[in-house]
Structure 1
Amino acid sequence: MTGRNGANFSPKIRSTLAERVGYLCSNPHCRIPTIGPSDHTSETAKRIGRAAHIHAAAKGGPRYSPQQTPEERRSAANGIFLCGNCAGMIDQNNGMEYPAEMLLDWKKIAEEEQKEAFISGNPIFSSIWRQKIHYLNYINIPRLELECLRNGYKIKNIPKITGWLYHMGQQTGIITASFQGILTRIDIASIDIEKIRYPDDNKYKDNLIGAIISFNENFRTKNGVHPPVLRGAPPTLTGDIEKDPHIYYENSFLKLIMPYDPRWITTSTAFGDFRPSSGQQKMTGLAVIKNVAGSNIIASPIVLGFPSNPLMEAFYGRTNNVRTISISEDDI
């Protein structure tokens, strides 16, 4: 990123590049904030962002363009704002894996998202979901498998599930452990439910449909079912929210309603999470938005779980070295 021959970005250009994307990393698979409070004093801020060159500042650098003039090389048009990690990543192997066209697309998307958030007052940009899960109590296997594929992970030997996940015995634990391990590795971009404002606003309502949301909230539960005794077919959802099992969460701006398919509940303990005696249960996870009606957001859960915390990690131990598990009947 350091330019030679006078092709460094000026402080004004660096600030402009950062401001145009709200000091967020422009990599659509990252989008982390790059500025925040210092850990040591209340008088300063911590910055991890960098103004990176799309075409290198000097000959021999990543994506160098001999057609550019020195003025063009140090202009805002030749810059993209990234976090420090992504700024270094795009220049590895002389930038061969990150061509200029890709970086220009990143920049365009990041600026358009920030413009939309600025105009509407609704920060509907995505960020990578990093919430740790203590245990999974709900796994929509086909949908989560699709997200894994999008992130470069193919889950091998997934057994055919014709009934309840709960009835698969030991294999349920193998499946749960496999997906929980992979969730610590893949980067799933999502919108934090707390960052959505006025979902029925036509300015961005259509952008929410199909989006993945993340959450870590206290949910109320309704129409929960008991663990099935027999290995029969799962109940058919009616589409009537008054009858179907669902969980819901409300804040000042919206009500999130998530009907769920009981066949994807993992254990008998998990069934209890969907029928708590208090009527509320803390849950974290991901869901895909299906519809927006007024302030109501209807979403289909992809994965739900009980959130981890430092006390749990200290008691149960951390799982930093997670290995991918091949799901197979032979493993039982």
Structure 2
Amino acid sequence: MSSFGVLRVALLAGGISSEREVSLKGASAVKKALEKLGHKYEIFDPAKDLSELAQRAKEFDCAFLVVHGPGGEDGTLQGFLDSIGLPYQGAGVLGSAIAMHKGISKNLYKLAGLKVPEGKVFSKENSFEEIREYAKKLGFPLIIKPATQGSSVGLSIVKKREDLKEALEKAFNIDNEVIVEKYLKGREITVGILDEKPLPVVEIIPKVSETFDYETKYTPGLAEEVCPAPLSEALTQKAQEYGLIAHRALKLRHYSRTDMIIVGDEIYVLETNTIPGMTETSLLPLAAKVAGYSFEELIQKLLELALREKIKNKIPA
């Protein structure tokens, strides 16, 4: 047990996004860790339990977020917790909102000196002809993805012009904005940050799909995750440095996980997750394990980071 003693934790899981099931799976793992650590917890679903949590906020020392996608990672839940004086792990309102929008994130990556795949954000107000012309100029294959979804939900690889409309409809059914982006073929890696320090690099090798899509991410056996990634020392250092730069550029705190792709000797930054997955197949716990943290130690570390935020900001008890 840490110097903080037995904690009373409001475990937030579920939510309203398409990643609800992933959230509930992660919460199941976190729940077991909290039990092993000897902490007390209660589960609250942001889809229906927030008014109850607001009334009972003083019963808890902190919240632990395992909610992904819109309504969980976009700053709305963080703002709610700030308003009721309950500290939580991970990015605050600003960082969460920035990182949730892939187009805004890309602009900040570029300003910070990081390379990103060429692409552009389009909304439903843009005509199909406009998007088609841009796609033609960019050249196929392309990536089409919703601007504010995680876990590769709604993502398509478009290899020819005839498939563009279907991919756009799929993405626009989920979001009001989509990103049309150059498809880069290379080695997929991800870099976790924990307490402002980079974790070992993980390489993701999909066994079936061409990309690390939703099914591949959450079905055991569909991808091989290698940690530490078999990269040169120079590439490893560069990837870890990029992970930290991305984390800081998006105004994040405590932890994050940034996905990248290696093409030749260049590393391109794709997106950053502010509440990385906590399921049995999740990548941040894997990297933390290689760095010497058991799953329980990782959860304890995140709880302590949340509580230090409370002390730093003098949130009233």
TM-score (normalised: structure 1): 0.22
Q: Which has the higher helix share?
A: 2
Larger Rg: 1
